[in-house]
Amino acid sequence: MRAACWCTLAAASFPAAAAFCKYTDTEGRTLYTNVAPERGWKKVMCEGETAKSPAPVSSGSSKAPTPANFPRVDASTQRGRDDVRRRVLTEELASEERLLMEARAAYANGAPPREPDEQVNPQKYGDRVARLRQSLSLHEKNVDALRKELASLK
């Protein structure tokens, strides 16, 4: 009982503790403390502060200059690459649209016809309907993604 009273009095008589700070020394060691250490430690940041990031360099341009010896692609080569990319994406889109139509037909608006073994096992039917729904969703997402990709081409 006396110890609890003494602790309360001691805590009330001392000023509030300082914020914890992070310090580093020349050897890369880190120290976290609420009391400033002896010489040789550099304060990095304190509790409640945000880490200081270096100020951005404003050179008028947001890009760094391209090195003189950096390889370049001529316009006709790039056009050829873009054409190949467009053709591949168009073929993938056609394939995904075909798979989507097949998935929709198999799903049959959530009520595909039951197979013979599903007549006695309703759980098996439910599992198949869930797989069909998942397949349908996947193909719809793929078609949307391919359309967006094609629209973003020049």
Q: What pLDDT sits at residue 70?
A: 87
Rounded to two decimals, what is the model's pTM?
Answer: 0.52
Q: What pLDDT sits at residue 12?
A: 44
Q: What pLDDT sits at residue 127?
A: 93
Question: How far, in Å, CA of 143 to CA of 154, rounded?
Answer: 19
Q: Minimum mean pLDDT among 26-35, 67-76, 130-139: which range?
A: 26-35
Q: Beta 30-33 vs 21-25: how paired, if at all?
A: antiparallel
Reported as a single tens digit per residue, the pLDDT across 2-53 is 444 444 444 444 444 567 788 888 877 887 788 777 777 888 888 776 655 5
38: left (phi over 0), alpha (psi -120 to 50) or beta: beta
